[in-house]
Structure 1
Amino acid sequence: MLTINVAVLLTVIVLLRLRRRTEPRTRFDETFGVVLVLVLGVLLAPTSFGQWVLDLVGQLAHGITRAGG
């Protein structure tokens, strides 16, 4: 249960940071944003939502591969 709460908190932080202008102000700001998104991905990966996203991306990649070949 704690993982979901932390994931929700990180999602809110990422969404708030995305609402700002697109250019990072400093190198630290850019690095901090990347770390936040990576941690959010690690927290969401083992959940059912994370598995759903993985399956969806896998199906899209498979469809693109079949369409290209």
Structure 2
Amino acid sequence: MVLTLNVAVLLAIIIFLRVRRRVQARSRADQWLTVAIVMVFGLLIAPTDFGQGVLNAVAQAAQGISEAGSP
């Protein structure tokens, strides 16, 4: 589990640096690489307590929005 968290932190830093770059300078392959890195990051963070907390928060927010929109 410790190794997973370290890799997840490294990927979070890489994602942050890639997203900060200018959008106009990106090629399609560069965009797909960013998507792949984000997906791997999501898979690494999902089984952790933090990932479960984020999942629960998003689920509650989505439920609240859907209940607010229904008559």
For this pair of structures, how many residues does the alignment match?
A: 69
RMSD (CA atoms) = 1.0
User: Offset at 1:22?
Assistant: 2.2
1:52 is paired with a residue of what secondary structure?
Answer: helix
Q: Which residue of 2 aligns with 1:63?
A: 64
Q: For residues 21-54 of structure 1, what are the alpha-carbon distances to aligned partners after superposition, in whole Å with 9 as ceiling and x for unaligned?
A: 1235211101100000000000000000000000
Identity, % of aligned pairs? Answer: 54
Give the TM-score normalised by structure 2.
0.92
1:4 is paired with a residue of what secondary structure?
Answer: helix
Q: Which residue of 2 aligns with 1:39?
A: 40
Give the TM-score normalised by structure 1.
0.94
Runs of 4+ in 1 over 4 A off after TM superposition: none
User: Offset at 1:9?
Assistant: 0.2
